[in-house]
Structure 1
Amino acid sequence: MTTNNSNNSNKFFEVRLAIYAGSNERKAFDTDAMRSLGFTGVDFDSVKAMLQTAVLPKEAFYPFLAVRKSVQEFLAQKGMNHDLLGRLFNPQEREEIILFLNEKKSEYEEAKKVFLADYARAKSEQLEKVRNSAALKGLEPEPLVRAVAENQPSVEYYARKFEFRFIDSSIELDAEEWRYELKKINEDLVERTCYELSRDAEKIRNDLTSTTTRVSKILEQVARLRSLSFYIPALSSLASDIEELVNNHCGGVKRPKEYSQAETLLASSLVKVVWENARNLVKSKATLKPIFLEEAERVAMLLQEDEDQLNIGFSESQQDLEVKPEPEPELIEEIEAPSVIEEIVDVIPEFKKPPAPAVSSVGAFAF
C-alpha cells in the first residue's frame, strides 16, 4: 500500500497462501484394534471418535513444515492483517516477496518429489513401528497393524493434496467514493500496529535467553517498522531511531560475553521504553530518543551507585585486613624491695654477707 496523501492510503497489495504441510495422524482404530487395546464393547462408540494414531512417520512431513514455517516468518515481518482486505503488504516490496515465494515453492516441489518416491518405504516403516510397539506392550500386534495399514492414504492422495499456491493482487479504491471506508481502514491499520509493536516489545523484554538474542529481535522490529511505513510514515523515523540507539548505546549485535553490564541494561531499557510508549510512538505523539536517554541516565546513575557501594565495601574490607601494630606496654617504674638478707644484716650486725662471685667471659658465653 502506498500513501497518496498525508492521511489515508487507497492502494493495497495483498498475498493469499495455501500451503499443505501434511498430517501423519488419523482415526484408524476399528473394533478389533480397540479390543486388542483392552476396550470392551460398551467403550467402542465413545472411544473410537477420540483415538488417533500415526499412520506415517512424522519425519516424512518435516520438509513441508520447514517450508511453511519459513514462509510464515518471512511474511510476518512484511505485512499487516486486516479483516476486510486480508494480509496487506508494501507495494514497493512486491518484487522481493514474489521472488521469495517462488523460491520456497521450488523447494516445496522438490520435497514433494522425494516424498512421493519414498512413500512405499515410509508406509512399511510405520507398520513395523506399530508391530514392535504392540509387542513390547504385550498387545496382539496384527489387529493394530491392519487398522493402521487400512488407513494409510494412497500415494495418489498425497500427489493431489500437496500444493503450494499463492496469489498476489493489487487493489486501488477510489479516494473520493470510498473516503469514509478508507479512513476506517487506515485507522484500523494504525491501531493494529500499536498493538503488535507493544505485544512484540513485551515478548522481547520477557525473553531472557541472551543480550545477543534480544538485540537481534529488536533489529527485526526495525525491519518490520520500515516495511509498514508505507501507510504510517512516522514508522520510518521510529525505525531509524531504534537502530541508532541499538548501535550507539546497546553495543549492536555481537557475542553474548562481549556485552558490558551497561549495554545489557540499556538493551532491556530500550525495549521497555518501546513497550510502554508504543501507542504514542506510532501516532507521533512521542519521540523515542528523549525518553530513552532519560532512562539511560537513570541506568548510569544506578550503575554509579553500585560502583560506589562496591568501592566502600572494598575499602572497609581492606581496612579489616591491615595489621595494626600492638601498643607498647606502659612502663611502670618498679620500686625494689629490700632483700631478706639485707634486713637480717641490718638487724644482726655480726652476720656478714658472702662475697660476690667473680665473673669471667670466655668467647660469647658468660660463666
Structure 2
Amino acid sequence: MAVKPFKLALAGFSAVGLAALTACGEAPTDNGSDGNADASFLACMVTDSGGVDDKSFNESSWAGMQKAEDENDDIKVAYKESSSEADYDPNLQASVDDDCDFIVGVGGLMSANVTTAALANEDIPFAIVDGGPSDADGNPVEADNVYSIQFDTAQSAYLAGYVAASQTETGIVATWGGIQIPPVTIFMDGFAEGIAKHNEDKGTDVQLLGWDEAAQSGTFLGSFEDTAAGKSTSDTFITQGADIIFPVAGPAGIGALTAAAENDAVSAIWVDTDGYESTEYGAELITSAEKGLANAVHDAVLAAYNGDTGSGTYVGTLENEGVSLAPFHDFDAVVSDETKAEVEALTAQIISGEIVVQSPASPVTE
C-alpha cells in the first residue's frame, strides 16, 4: 500500500540524512577546497543550474570530486555554480583560465558547451556527466579529450516502476520531468516499463499519468529549479487520483515531496540520489532510482590525475552497480517480502539480459 508508515514534523528527517546533508552541503571557501594549497593537480567542476547542494546530480558529482581530493594529497578540487544555461560558457572558460587540469561539466544540457570548450583547449581533459560530446543540435562530435559519464537509469527506474505499481492503492501513479532531455526521459521510460511488467505479471491495471512512452510525450516544467511548479503539477496529479509521484527534475522535484508531505495517502519515489538521505522528506519516500554519480566522477578525477583520460564512455548499469534501487528505509515493513523477492529476480534478469529495458535515451557505447 502507498500510505506512509508514519509522519514526523520534519517528514522523517533522520540523523543519517542530516549528517549526509551536512557533509555534502558545506561549500568550500571560494568555490573550492580550503586544503591542499600545494596540490599539483586541480580538478574543477561546473555545475548545472540548481546549485552544488541541489540534493541531486550536482551534489553527488561534487561529493565524488571531494572524495578524490580526500584520497590524494596531490589533488585539489573546485567548482563554479551555474544558475542558468547562460552561465555554462563563462564558467567553463573561467575554469580554463584558472589552469584547471581536469574540467567536469555536470548535466546533459551542457554537452555542446563542454565540447566547444574542449575542442578549443585540446591539452585539457574534460568530462561530461549525463551526456557525450555533441554540437549545439545534439549531433555527436569527435573530441579526443572529452570523457562521457552516463547511466542506464532506465534499469533502476524499471524496478522503481514495478515497486510503485505494487504499492499504489488507487491504481494510479504519476511522473513528470524538469526538461524533456534524454537524462530525464530515460527514467520515465524505465518507470513506465516497470509498471507494465507488474500489470502483465500480476494482472493489475495500474495507470501512469504524465508520460506516454510510445509517443515520447508527457508533462515537463521546462525547469529544474521551479519547486512551486513542481508542487502544483504534483497536486494536479494527486487530484486525478495518483497516490505515488515520481519527479525527474532535480531540485524542482522537491515540490513533489512537499505535495506528498501534505497528504497522508500520497508517497513519492526520488531519482539520482537516495532521497531518504539527501532530502528532508524521508517519510514520504518509498525508494529512489539511484545512479552512482559520486563514484563515477571520483574515478574519472583519479583517472585524469593518472593521465588515463581521453575520449570514451562510462555507462553505469545494474550489473556494474552504476545504477541501483535504494533501500526502502521507513517503507521496509510496508513493501511485502513477495515484492522484494520479485525485485531481486527482476534485477537478476536485467543483469543477465533476459529482460532488456529499452529507452530511446539509453546510452550507447562503442
Q: Name the structure where strand makes up a greater proportion of residues.
A: 2
Q: TM-score, normalization: structure 2? A: 0.23
Q: TM-score, normalization: structure 1? A: 0.23
Which has the greater radius of gyration? 1
